[in-house]
Structure 1
């Protein structure tokens, strides 16, 4: 309510409140201040979001640069190395050779004559099941050459033979299926027919450590069935 005062002329006057004491002034002031605060806060969020986006893009760009750099550092494999690997695959998969046997064949003067480096690259990168190769070789010796179990085992690991590791040879001998008595009989008949040897001489040859290396039982079976 406006305040009334009496002037020097005797008249009564209404005195208006200063504008800063009016309610509408403070309501307006609050609205203005709130608007400024909201504007400032929103700007901060935008700056923060913008900064985060920039940081993420920078990291992605850096990551892509590293990938490109890493890719560009890959050295092309020499043609000789590729050829050695192709040969290694062939020897391992088609001829069932051992790891050492393949390496020696690749570097041999009487073989492929690759450099030691190319051969080693081939051995390191060829995919082969050496245990399986040893087993295939064992089957071949047992079925096509009528060898004894001991002879097959020694042939698999011999440095002048197949050159498989002892573990690979053991695996093969544990898996190979062969009739060793039948093999002894086949050998005995061969000695009798081709070399006209006596039964006693045949028995000795079958069991000799420098001969066929069959067991005494296997040799005796062969002698008993020699004339069947």
Structure 2
């Protein structure tokens, strides 16, 4: 019987250790120890993604722009690397806006979304947006 009890105790300890390991997230300490400029850039990036539905490249350029936010490139890169954004959804929101307000064709919308002078979405994000415009 003592053998069974020890076996049960060991299993419980292993299960506890396993659940503790799963709860730990390696990214959290990194975010907490980030310089204030980095967390400010991340907060601003979240605003650009959530409110303006910008692309990853567009956000980075806005954060580093002399006419924009003027963050250091390292802070902007931290922001876009740590931003939890759905860029397909952002591209779709922009595409719907172009369709509604400018009556653009799907091909013109795709070009606008991928243009280096405009939205800067990836070709895959733009294609997702065009494919889902009327859904």
State the TM-score, normalizing by the size of structure 1. Answer: 0.45
Displacement of 1:133 after TM fit? 0.3
Aligned to 1:162: 119
Aligned to 2:99: 142
Aligned to 1:82: 39
State the TM-score, normalizing by the size of structure 2. Answer: 0.75
Q: Please say if 1:95 is aligned against 2:52.
A: yes
In structure 2, which of residues 86, 107, 112 is the aligned counterpart of residue 129 of structure 1? 86
Task: Give the unaligned 5+ runs of structure 2.
Answer: 1-28
Structure having the higher helix fraction is 2
Aligned to 1:116: 73
Paired residues, what number? 106
Deviations 1:15-62 (A, max 9, x none): xxxxxxxxxxxxxxxxxxxxxxxxxxxxxxxxxxxxxxxxxxxxxxxx
Aligned-partner SS, 1:90 = helix
By relative contact order (CA 8 Å, sep 6+), the higher-ranking structure is: 2
Measured in 2, the distance between the counterparts of 1:136 and 1:99 equals 14
Q: Larger Cα Rg: Structure 1 or Structure 2?
A: 1
Q: Would you identify which runs of 4 or more consecutive aligned residues in structure 1 move more than 2 Å?
A: 73-76
Aligned-partner SS, 1:92 = helix
Measured in 2, the distance between the counterparts of 1:101 and 1:82 equals 18
Measured in 2, the distance between the counterparts of 1:154 and 1:177 equals 18
